[in-house]
Amino acid sequence: MISLFTYGTLKKGFDNPFAEKLAAVSNYVGEGYFHGKLYKIDWYPGAVYEPQSAEKVYGEIFEILDPGILQELDEYEDVLEDQAASLYIRREIPIFTENELPVSCWTYLYNQPVHDLQLIQSGIFEN
């Protein structure tokens, strides 16, 4: 099973073609979080994975039924072959579910400097 964790514009209820396509080729599993920080980039967020952090990034877990969607989402998230130039990178990290059990999920992590960005204290990106 391929799982994807979304914390931004790919979550349910967001009005964009990629969120709609993800919903069409996946099953919603439930909510979860990972340890890290969430930043406001522009009209979208970026998350940084920090396994030792007390702060959390909250989002949704999807079971991917069509793995081909990941290539399309890589383009949407500006994942490039040159990793240093990529806006995001797709990584598999542990996501904690409501029962606190970790599930390995792909997610898109922000891959640029965050020092000038606004921290989203709640760890939740709202539509």
The pLDDT confidence band at residue 20, using thresholds 50, 70 and 90, is: very high
In angstroms, rounded to a whole number, what is the distance separating the alpha carbons of residues 125 and 9? 8
Backbone angles phi, psi at 13, to 5 degrees: 90, -10
Answer yes or no: pTM beyond 0.75. yes
Domain coordinates in residue numbering, the chain:
2-119
Which CATH entry fits the domain spanning 2-119: 3.10.490.10, 3.10.450.630, 3.20.20.20, 3.40.220.10? 3.10.490.10
What is the model's pLDDT at position 14? Answer: 92
User: Hey, how many other C-beta atoms are within 10 angstroms of the C-beta on 113?
Assistant: 7
Q: Which residues pair with 46 in a beta bridge?
A: 39
In angstroms, rounded to a whole number, what is the distance separating the alpha carbons of residues 27 and 22? 9
Q: Where are the alpha helices (DSSP H) in 1-126?
A: 17-24, 69-76
Please provide the average confidence, as pLDDT, over all residues in the chain: 96
